[in-house]
Amino acid sequence: MLIKKYFIFALLLLATLVPAKSESWIIPFNLSNPYNAPGQTSLGSFVAEAIRYASDAQIAFISKASIRDKQLEAGEYDEIKLCSYLFYPDDHIAKIMLSGEEIYKILEENLMIYPQKNPAFLQVAGIVVYFSYLSPPNQRIKKVLLLPLKTILEPKEIYTVAVEESLAKGMGGCLMLREKEATYLPITLLESVKKYLDSGIIFNNIPLWIQEGKEKP
């Protein structure tokens, strides 16, 4: 009996000494977030969609500057590698209620210097934005469609928008968000990405900022 107890104790001790196998995820596509390119990026779309999914929001925003200017190659990624693509992996996700009119205003402000380089350009998820950057200020957003049904974003309707903590506090130039009441969720930016990868959902990298006509930068 004594030998059996020592044997069990030895097994428990060994279990504490052998590190648990770390989680890893396969990302089957290449993604990037170049700061010198105007507009939405593939990595920006991916992270924004992860935020939207993990928070169960209709729309999500994240500043391009919160994601590193790095190429993510298809392959296997553990938590440490995923962290290396995010400036603020421990930022909590906030949900904010915004009217369609307020969302249009935020999107208009986002185009102020487009197509010049803008590291703070908002990466979006849950919507498709049609715009013309050559139109006069406050007339550049032509229409916004809410995914997945592509219904028109109505100015008077209220929508749930998920954002990273720093954006909710007004960083990145989105001062309107700082003035809104935010509900902080018990999930971080990194955890949002992990939850999205765990879901097994196949990321669909469709254009979310669409320049109308032939006026392309």
- Look at residue 19 and tell me if it is in a domain: no
- Look at residue 89 and tell me if it is in a domain: yes
Residue type, position 23, single letter: E
- Look at residue 13 and tell me if it is in a domain: no
- Look at residue 137 and tell me if it is in a domain: yes
User: pTM of the predicted model, to two decimals?
Assistant: 0.87
- Look at residue 50 and tell me if it is in a domain: yes
Residue 65: left if φ>0, alpha if ψ -120 to 50, beta else—which one? Answer: alpha
Question: In this model, does residue 35 exceed pLDDT 80?
Answer: yes
CATH assignment of the domain containing 207: 3.90.780.10
- Look at residue 47 and tell me if it is in a domain: yes
- Residues of the domain holding 164: 24-211
- Look at residue 42 and tell me if it is in a domain: yes
Question: From CA 188, how far away is CA 196, in angstroms rounded?
Answer: 12
Model confidence over 70-115: pLDDT tens digits?
999 999 999 999 999 999 999 999 999 999 999 999 999 999 989 9
Question: From CA 92, how far away is CA 185, in angstroms rounded?
Answer: 6
Model confidence over 179-203: pLDDT tens digits?
899 999 999 999 999 999 999 998 9
Model confidence over 130-161: pLDDT tens digits?
999 999 999 999 999 999 999 999 999 999 99
Q: Is pLDDT larger for residue 179 or for residue 15?
A: 179
Q: Spell out where the chain has E strands.
A: 24-27, 31-32, 59-63, 71-72, 75-78, 92-99, 122-125, 127-131, 141-146, 151-152, 158-164, 182-188, 209-211
Question: From CA 98, how far away is CA 77, in angstroms rounded?
Answer: 35
- How many domains, the chain? 1
Question: From CA 127, how far away is CA 89, in angstroms rounded?
Answer: 24
- Look at residue 78 and tell me if it is in a domain: yes
Please, which residues bridge with residue 158 across strands? 99
pLDDT score for 14? 37
pLDDT score for 175? 82
Q: Spell out where 10-157 has E strands.
A: 24-27, 31-32, 59-63, 71-72, 75-78, 92-99, 122-125, 127-131, 141-146, 151-152
Q: Is pLDDT larger for residue 155 or for residue 9?
A: 155
